[in-house]
Amino acid sequence: MSVLAASGCSGIQSALEPAGAEAEAVARLFWVMVVAGGLIWCAVIGTLVYATRQRRRVYGEHAAGLLILWGGALFPALLLALLLGYALWLMPNVRPWIAQAEPAGLRIEVEGEQFWWRVRYHPPNGPPVDAANEIRLPVGERVEFALTSSDVIHSFWIPVLGGKMDMIPGRTNRLTLQAAKAGTYRGPCTEFCGTSHALMAFSVVVMEPDNFRAWLADQAGTSQSARAPGHDLFIAHGCAACHVVKGTEARGAVGPDLSHVGSRETLGAGILPVSTETIASFIRDPDVIKPGSQMPAFRMLPEADIAAIAAYLEGLE
Ligand code: CUA
């Protein structure tokens, strides 16, 4: 839980510390609105203070009418129209430099689940690659996200890269993002989706394009330790009914793909660091760590078996 607490609203998840063009537009809009709103507030309060300090006197009907017309109708309407125009101009489909940009090469399908993320990479040439609970992106390249959900409405948001987009069952929403800075960030689910909504997040790793391609090729393959001792216990205790480990007989598609779970930044969709201890505790008590999780608890297994399975999974890099 400490990862969650420590990451709260720090830079890795701040829309005001953008690492991409979309988020920069959002941050700029925020600051323009703050400054414009602040100036208007100062003008209104200034006028109020000025009025209370004036000696009372009678104004002509004409002067009062002019004040209401300009101060009460024309000025606010003009200013709001200007700010609205600016906000509309920042919309992704309107901005000329976005409309003219190259189409995205990489497409990533993300599906909201209770309470985790199913991720499938579609590189421009090559077969799709499945993963879960973590999104890796090449820096400087436009990436198209195809967002949907299998159960209830979730919402996908990488604050440092751009605006949020709902994930709606039976519908695919599209969002294009381009990261400008390599680094490790965080994305939360931003639509209430059940008891563990607040425990549904993912890590975002923005890599140099060459590193990204090497990583993706690696993800497509089998993990080196896929034949560690815990593997047979993983199969024997039924874990393979719900989880995939590429290159083994584990082909269950209900839960997250665990093929390279040991190399991910987090465990349990953005909430725990990856270690044999955290993996063991998740196997034992998924319903305690993530209330409402659909994974059954395996606390009846012998501790030695849990430890062996955890060591096996931690080794899947
Ligand atoms: Cu998924 Cu909130």
Å from CA of 241 to ligand 1 middle = 24
**246 with 180, same domain?**
no
Instruction: Please work out whether the CB of residue 243 comes within 6 Å of at least one atom of ligand 1.
Output: no
pLDDT value, residue 22:
87
pLDDT given at position 242: 95
Closest residue to atom 1 of ligand 1, CA basis: 154
Residue 65 has a CB neighbour count (10 Å cut-off) of: 11
In a domain, 213, yes or no: no
Is 37 in the same domain as 184?
yes
Residues 113 and 256 in one domain: no
> Is 45 among the domain residues?
yes
The minimum-distance atom of ligand 1 relative to the CA of 114 is 1
pLDDT of residue 276: 92
Q: Is residue 34 included in any domain, yes or no?
A: yes
Same domain, yes or no, for 107 and 185? Answer: yes
Partners of residue 178 on adjacent β-strands = 142
257, 187: one domain:
no
Q: Which is it for strands 106-113 and 142-149: parallel, antiparallel or unpaired? A: parallel
Question: Is residue 174 a contact partner of residue 162, using CB atoms and an 8 Å limit?
Answer: no
pLDDT of residue 5: 47
Residues 79 and 161 in one domain: yes
Q: Strands 154-156 and 165-167, how do they pair?
A: antiparallel
- pTM of whole model > 0.75? yes
Looking up residue 105, the CATH number of its domain turns out to be: 2.60.40.420
Q: Write out the DSSP string of 169-220.
A: BT--EEEEEEB-S-EEEEEEB-S--STTGGG-EEEEEEE-HHHHHHHHHHHH
Candidates 293, 287, 274, 115; CA nearest to 190 is 115
Question: Among residues of the chain, what percentage have pLDDT more than 70?
Answer: 92
Q: Is 191 in the pocket of ligand 1 (CB under 6 A)?
A: yes
Q: Are residues 192 and 303 in the same domain?
A: no
Of 196, 217, 247, at which residue does a domain stop?
A: 196
Domain with 84, as residue range(s), is 12-196
Number of domains in the chain: 2
Q: Which ligand 1 atom sits closest to the C-alpha of 152?
A: 1
- Let me know whether 138 and 185 are in one domain: yes
Which atom of ligand 1 is least distant from the CA of 191?
Answer: 2
Task: Look at residue 2 and tell me if it is in a domain.
Answer: no
Atom nearest to 154 CA in ligand 1: 1
DSSP letters, 58-82, are PPPHHHHHHHIIIIIIIHHHHHHHH
pLDDT at 42: 95
The finding on whether 21 has its CB within 6 A of some atom of ligand 1 is no
pLDDT per residue as tens digits for the range 20-37: 988 998 899 999 999 989
Helix, strand or coil for residue 122? Answer: strand
**CB of 111 closer than 6 angstroms to any ligand 1 atom:** no
Q: Which of 172, 196, 220 is the last residue of a domain?
A: 196
Give residue 51's pLDDT: 87
Ligand 1 neighbourhood includes 117 CB (under 6 angstroms):
no
Specify if 108 maps to a domain: yes
Domain termination site, one of 180, 196, 212: 196
Check whether residue 188 and residue 238 sit in a common domain. Answer: no
Q: Is residue 270 part of a domain?
A: yes
Q: Are residues 28 and 146 in the same domain?
A: yes
- Residues of the chain scoring pLDDT < 70: 1-10, 92-102, 224-227
120 with 66, same domain? Answer: yes
Q: Is 193 in the pocket of ligand 1 (CB under 6 A)?
A: yes
Q: Give yes or no for residue 164 CB within 6 A of ligand 1.
A: no
For residue 148, report the distance from its CA to the centre of ligand 1, in Å.
12
